[in-house]
Amino acid sequence: MTFLAWRRVHRAATGVLAGLAALHSLLTAVLYQTWTADAVWFLGTGLGLLLLALINWAHVGLEPCRQPTARLVRWANIGFLAFGVLAFVAVPEPQAMIILAALALQAIAGHVTLPGPA
């Protein structure tokens, strides 16, 4: 695959992840009527996924990202992918599988689009 094809995959996976993360965060108020520890964890997970999507989006450009922070973003992608696997084992639901797929595509594409400094 060419860089531009990997870039499209990276941006599409990031867009799916951002949309689901925003929805996840907004659903906190619907699913939890009171502010509990479960509500905090639910909201925190959504915000964490949204932050990951935003830092990926900021780093994917028209050419491979050579910023020193690109390596950190790649490691964050791998860490969240591991978390996503564990989350899917704990909550094997369709939305968790979609998030896991987006995290996997983002992590794989990030190895091409986020090489870091030359």
- Span 32-73, pLDDT tens digits: 999 999 999 999 999 999 999 999 999 988 788 888 899 999
Give the Cα separation of 38 and 112 in Å (integer): 37
Q: Which residue has the higher pLDDT, 117 or 51?
A: 51
Q: What is the pLDDT of residue 65?
A: 86
The pLDDT value given to residue 38: 94
**What's the mean pLDDT in 91-106?**
95
Tokens of 51: 């932050």
Q: How many CA atoms lie within 13 A of 106 on its CB side?
A: 34
- Could you read off the pLDDT of 71-82 as tens digits, one per residue? 999 999 999 999
Residue 107 confidence (pLDDT) above 90: yes
pTM of the model: 0.91
Tally Cβ neighbours within 10 Å of residue 114: 24
- The CA distances from residue 18 to 12, 28, 47, 115, in Å, are 10, 16, 9, 22
